[in-house]
């Protein structure tokens, strides 16, 4: 996995259909936005929250 930087990134597994999210690291937070609404809201998460989320997804324990 590449380290996040200030560039918006989409998963290489997204399929290119626009039904995904983009992430970046900016303002000391991991930011997430909807690819279909790039001018819409941006969610921000602290590094510990993001790491926990990614670990849960990888372990298939994420329950939304």
pLDDT of residue 63: 63
Of 41, 42, 39, the residue nearest 23 (C-alpha): 42
Supply 17's token pair: 């259909």
Supply 33's token pair: 């936005």
pLDDT of residue 1: 45
Locate the DSSP E strands across 1-64: 9-10, 21-26, 29-34, 43-45
pTM, entire model: 0.74
Half-sphere exposure of 14 (CA within 13 A, CB side): 15
pLDDT in tens, 1-32: 456 788 998 877 777 676 788 999 998 899 99
């Amino acid at each position: 996995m590449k380290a996040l930087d200030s560039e918006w990134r989409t998963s290489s597994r997204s399929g290119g259909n626009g039904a995904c999210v983009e992430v970046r690291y900016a303002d000391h937070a991991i930011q997430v936005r909807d690819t279909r609404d790039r001018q819409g809201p941006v969610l921000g998460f602290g590094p510990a929250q993001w790491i926990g989320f990614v670990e849960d997804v990888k372990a298939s324990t994420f329950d939304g």
